[in-house]
């Protein structure tokens, strides 16, 4: 996504030219340069578009020749080609487009596919019924994930603005949705870069001759004697390295003992890398996405072929996919399936809206939504296969070691013990299923369980370097899109109109870097858990719910369907309309209610590391942490009602902008569309009316065709 950093920031800095009559002349002059054969629907991007201005003699001559030929054909009455120019705006708009369709798809896949696909989905699957978990997972994908993904791509392509601009154009009272998305993106970017810093630290440590988490260190005494570190002996080398060496963790969240300067340095490097990739812009870093989006798949494929050759691979996959059908009756399983789908696709952050706003207006956003969302889900499944093939290997190694120790102990007791000792001898318990259940999600899977498995590989350093480099690219790819939502929103709001974008981006990264130092002290990992659990979950659900309400009940579902039909040539079916108006909002309300009920029944807390016992224990959040939780949630979602109330009283927070150019009538002619008459089913389900309005209880829409004709002009 690095190649879109500079591009996306430009979306709100375009000052619309008021000379509309001159623009109409220029638009008519430009028509005919972008041509389409009757046999295809290909959309031209960047310099491949015949309308692209190139002053080189050869290109100029070819374009002029093509234009003259089109005029000659039109005069002679030939109709082999249809003419359409999707990138020419009617009001002085000079909006840039993606270099190619592949660049857009890779950027979107890189944004959607993140760390959660690798370290959260496999854990949830084996925890919530194995193969049976795929049933609620794909059901929630169909009624919640893909519909909202499709909605965001379509509304961004139609209105051709960022999150704030889009929802302000849908209704000035809904502009707070865009601001809320920006605040959530800021909060998530703060802690997300901490993961990148941890990956960088482990990546550097992987180049040592012996991996530092392979064995327990020794504790030396003043008399020259030594013993194995007691904390490590009670836990494991990977746990000790994670909690004591990397995090230098304190006993609880109330006891930040000191700053961890190694993580401070890693955080600074991480933020510098993010800034360097974002400042270069599309011209100089347009190819970065080809590395950051594809490298994780290369590493996963390498680990896949390594994993399938390991002993215990089949047991690991059986543990992952063996269905436990009785768990489908547990509401928590459906809750976690819906939550995983929602957040793994990156919905409601505003990044998808911004990305799609730079597509041609006749791009097939329906196909993009299906392709990217399915790619995301099958990536999660493929990552699960890779992870659990290696976890199965680790479990077998631990099980075999336990059997060897038990046999050696029995033989020793039989050779040296008495009959009474043998009668009362207790052998160690060796259970393969227990070893397979010994897994975790998130940082526990990446930095403890998986690293312990890598220790068993020949050439463990090579596999560690690959693994943490993969996590780094997964994280930084998503970080670009998340932070870009913040930069874009500040530009949209024109808070610093005279400030260069490079300086604005650097200032935001500097502020984020300073605030993120709160995750670098000894209690910072507990603060990280707090942000991870609450800064995005509830606010994003509320934002996505408001997006569905804004499109279905304010913008108008019929109008939205007409727009999609004009852009793609195909009208969305009843399934999508039902999801947008009923099923998706209902699914998000259900998830929110179920989550509140779960917290009320089970409480909320964090796992604190007890060094004396070498294990973690559950503790409740202190009062100040609960205040911080409510602050994070309210500071994100309160913008939605605040902006609406202020607007009602004449207080304008987001200035109104000129509507984006959308050649509705030309698109309809281009695709050969006719006016869609509402079917009886549509009238019954959605309240579509013959006068163009809609709504069972609150009529919306109406006659907007005249408005579209003005946009065409």
Residues 112-164 have pLDDT tens digits of: 888 888 888 888 888 888 888 999 999 999 999 999 999 999 999 999 888 88
Q: What per-residue string of b and e applies to 669-696 under the rule 16 or more CB within 10 Å gives b?
A: ebbebeeeebeeebeebbbbeeebbbbe
Could you tell me the end-to-end alpha-carbon distance of the chain, in angstroms, rounded to an integer?
A: 34
In contact, 712 and 90? CB cutoff 8 Å: yes
Sign of CA dihedral 193, 297, 438, 245: negative
Higher-scoring residue by pLDDT: 18, 474: 474
User: What pLDDT band is residue 91 in, cutting at 50, 70 and 90?
Assistant: very low
Phi and psi at residue 280, to the nearest 5° = -70, -30
State how far the Cα of 427 lies from the Cα of 406, in Å rounded to an integer: 6
pLDDT over 80 at 325, yes or no? yes
Q: What is the mean pLDDT of residues 668-685?
A: 90
Q: Which pLDDT does position 709 carry in this prediction?
A: 52
User: What pLDDT band is residue 487 in, cutting at 50, 70 and 90?
Assistant: confident
Among the listed residues 154, 152, 155, 174, the one whose alpha carbon sits nearest the alpha carbon of residue 164: 174
Name the E strands within 522-663. 605-610, 615-620
Q: What is the mean pLDDT of residues 94-101?
A: 72
Among the listed residues 177, 173, 176, 115, the one whose alpha carbon sits nearest the alpha carbon of residue 151: 177
Q: What per-residue string of b and e applies to 157-177 under the rule 16 or more CB within 10 Å gives b?
A: bbbbbbbbbbbbbbebbbbbb
State how far the Cα of 154 lies from the Cα of 362, in Å rounded to an integer: 11
* Host H or E run for residue 219: strand 218-220
Q: pLDDT, tens digit, for every residue of 278-294?
A: 876 544 445 677 888 89
Q: Name residues whose C-beta falls within 8 Å of residue 83's C-beta, 6 or more positions apart in sequence.
A: 31, 32, 34, 35, 36, 70
Q: What is the mean pLDDT of residues 521-538?
A: 90
In contact, 254 and 265? CB cutoff 8 Å: no
In contact, 442 and 89? CB cutoff 8 Å: no
State how far the Cα of 569 lies from the Cα of 566, in Å rounded to an integer: 5
Q: Which pLDDT does position 3 carry in this prediction?
A: 40
Q: What size, in residues, is the chain?
A: 713
Tokens found for residue 648: 């009602």
State how far the Cα of 62 lies from the Cα of 337, in Å rounded to an integer: 54
Among the listed residues 333, 336, 339, 328, the one whose alpha carbon sits nearest the alpha carbon of residue 588: 339
State how far the Cα of 95 lies from the Cα of 7, in Å rounded to an integer: 10
Please enumerate, as own/partner, the contacts of 409-414 that have beta carbons within 8 Å and a separation of 24 or more. none
Q: How far is CA 299 from the centre of its chain?
A: 20
CB count, 10 Å around CB of 129?
A: 24
Q: Name residues whose C-beta falls within 8 Å of residue 631's C-beta, 6 or more positions apart in sequence.
A: none
pLDDT over 80 at 12, yes or no? no
State how far the Cα of 87 lies from the Cα of 177, in Å rounded to an integer: 27
DSSP character at residue 14: P
Q: Name residues whose C-beta falls within 8 Å of residue 47's C-beta, 6 or more positions apart in sequence.
A: 54
SS3 (DSSP) at 616 = strand
pLDDT over 50 at 10, yes or no? no
Q: pLDDT, tens digit, for every residue of 491-506?
A: 767 788 888 878 888 9
State how far the Cα of 636 lies from the Cα of 15, in Å rounded to an integer: 29
Phi and psi at residue 676, to the nearest 5° = -90, 120
Q: pLDDT, tens digit, for every residue of 410-468?
A: 777 677 655 555 555 566 678 888 878 777 667 888 898 889 889 888 899 999 999 99
Tokens found for residue 686: 């959605």
Q: pLDDT, tens digit, for every residue of 570-587?
A: 999 999 999 999 999 999
State how far the Cα of 472 lies from the Cα of 292, in Å rounded to an integer: 9
Percent of the chain with pLDDT over 90: 39
In this predicted structure, which of 66-80, 182-196, 296-310 has the lowest mean pLDDT? 66-80
Give, in order, the Cα–Cα distances in Å from 226 to each of 218, 220, 240, 611.
6, 4, 18, 19
Among the listed residues 549, 526, 537, the one whose alpha carbon sits nearest the alpha carbon of residue 598: 537
Among the listed residues 244, 168, 321, the one whose alpha carbon sits nearest the alpha carbon of residue 522: 244
In contact, 278 and 6? CB cutoff 8 Å: yes
DSSP character at residue 243: I
Q: Pinpoint the alpha helices (H) of 52-145.
A: 57-76, 101-112, 115-119, 121-127, 134-140
Tokens found for residue 39: 């046999």
Q: Which pLDDT does position 48 carry in this prediction?
A: 42
SS3 of 438-452: the string is: CCCCCHHHHHHHHHH
State how far the Cα of 20 lies from the Cα of 629, in Å rounded to an integer: 50
Tell me the HSE value of 461 on the side-chain side, using a 13 A CA sphere.
9
State how far the Cα of 111 lies from the Cα of 343, in Å rounded to an integer: 11
In this predicted structure, which of 265-269, 675-679, 700-704 has the lowest mean pLDDT? 700-704
Report the C-alpha dihedral over residues 235, 237, 241, 244, rounded to 10 degrees: 30
DSSP character at residue 223: T
State how far the Cα of 243 lies from the Cα of 519, in Å rounded to an integer: 14
In contact, 542 and 640? CB cutoff 8 Å: yes
């Amino acid at each position: 996504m690095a190649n879109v950093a500079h591009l996306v920031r430009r979306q709100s800095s375009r000052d619309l030219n008021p000379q509309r009559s001159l623009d109409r002349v220029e638009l008519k002059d430009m028509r005919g340069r972008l041509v389409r054969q009757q046999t295809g629907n290909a959309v031209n991007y960047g310099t491949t578009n015949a309308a692209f201005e190139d002053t080189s003699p050869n290109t100029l001559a070819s374009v002029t020749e093509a234009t003259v030929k089109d005029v000659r054909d039109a005069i002679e009455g030939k109709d082999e080609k249809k003419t359409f120019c999707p990138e020419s705006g009617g009001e002085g708009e000079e909006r840039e487009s993606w270099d190619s369709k592949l660049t857009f798809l890779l950027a979107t896949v890189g944004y959607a596919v993140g760390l959660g696909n690798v370290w959260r989905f496999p854990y949830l699957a084996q925890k919530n019924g194995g193969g049976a978990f795929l049933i609620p997972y794909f059901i929630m994908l169909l009624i919640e994930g893909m519909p909202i993904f499709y909605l965001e791509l379509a509304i961004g392509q139609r209105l051709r603005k960022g999150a704030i601009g889009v929802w302000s154009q849908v209704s000035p009272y809904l502009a707070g949705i865009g601001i809320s998305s920006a605040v959530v993106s800021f909060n998530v970017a703060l802690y997300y870069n901490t993961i990148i810093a941890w990956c960088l630290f482990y990546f550097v440590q992987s180049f040592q001759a012996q991996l530092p988490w392979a064995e327990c260190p020794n504790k030396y005494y003043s008399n020259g004697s030594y013993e194995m570190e007691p904390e490590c002996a009670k836990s494991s080398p990977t746990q000790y390295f994670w909690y004591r060496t990397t995090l230098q963790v304190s006993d609880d969240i109330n006891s930040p003992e000191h700053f961890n300067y190694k993580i401070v340095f890693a955080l600074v490097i991480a933020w510098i890398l993010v800034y360097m990739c974002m400042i270069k812009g599309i011209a100089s870093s347009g190819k970065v996405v080809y590395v950051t989006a594809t490298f994780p798949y290369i590493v996963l494929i390498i680990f896949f072929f390594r994993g399938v050759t390991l002993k215990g691979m089949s047991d690991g996959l059986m543990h992952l996919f063996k269905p436990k059908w009785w768990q489908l009756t547990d509401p928590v399983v459906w809750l976690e399936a819906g939550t995983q789908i929602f957040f793994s696709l990156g919905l409601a952050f505003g990044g998808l809206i911004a990305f799609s706003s730079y597509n041609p207006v006749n791009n097939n956003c329906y196909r993009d939504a299906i392709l990217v969302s399915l790619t995301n889900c099958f990536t999660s499944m493929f990552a699960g296969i890779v992870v659990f093939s290696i976890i199965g290997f680790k479990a077998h190694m631990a099980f075999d070691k336990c059997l060897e120790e038990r046999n050696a102990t029995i033989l020793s007791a039989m050779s040296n013990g008495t009959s009474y000792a043998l009668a009362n001898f207790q052998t160690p318990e060796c259970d393969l299923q227990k070893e397979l259940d010994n897994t975790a999600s998130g940082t526990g899977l990446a930095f403890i369980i998986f690293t312990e498995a890598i220790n068993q590989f020949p050439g463990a350093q090579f596999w560690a370097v690959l693994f943490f480099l993969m996590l780094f690219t997964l994280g930084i790819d998503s970080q670009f899109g998340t932070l870009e939502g913040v930069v874009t929103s500040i530009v949209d709001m024109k808070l610093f109109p005279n400030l260069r974008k490079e300086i604005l981006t650097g200032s935001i990264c500097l502020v984020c870097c300073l605030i993120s130092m709160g995750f670098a002290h000894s209690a910072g990992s507990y603060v990280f858990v707090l942000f991870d659990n609450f800064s995005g979950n509830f606010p994003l659900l509320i934002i996505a719910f408001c997006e569905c309400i804004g499109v279905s009940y304010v913008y108008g579902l019929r109008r939205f369907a007409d727009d999609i039909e004009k852009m793609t040539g195909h009208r969305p079916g009843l399934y999508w309309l039902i999801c947008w108006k009923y099923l998706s909002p209902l699914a998000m309300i259900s998830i929110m209610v179920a989550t509140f009920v779960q917290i009320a029944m089970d409480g909320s807390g964090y796992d604190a590391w007890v060094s004396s016992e070498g294990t973690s224990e559950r503790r409740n959040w202190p009062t100040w942490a609960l205040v911080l939780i409510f602050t994070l949630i309210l500071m994100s979602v309160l913008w939605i009602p605040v902006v609406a109330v202020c607007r009602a009283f004449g207080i304008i927070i987001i200035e109104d902008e000129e509507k984006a150019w959308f050649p509705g009538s030309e698109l309809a002619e281009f695709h050969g569309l006719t006016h869609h008459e509402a079917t009886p089913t549509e009238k019954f389900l959605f309240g579509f009316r013959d006068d163009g309005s809609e709504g069972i209880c609150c009529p919306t829409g109406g006659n907007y065709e005249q408005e579209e004709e003005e946009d065409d002009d």
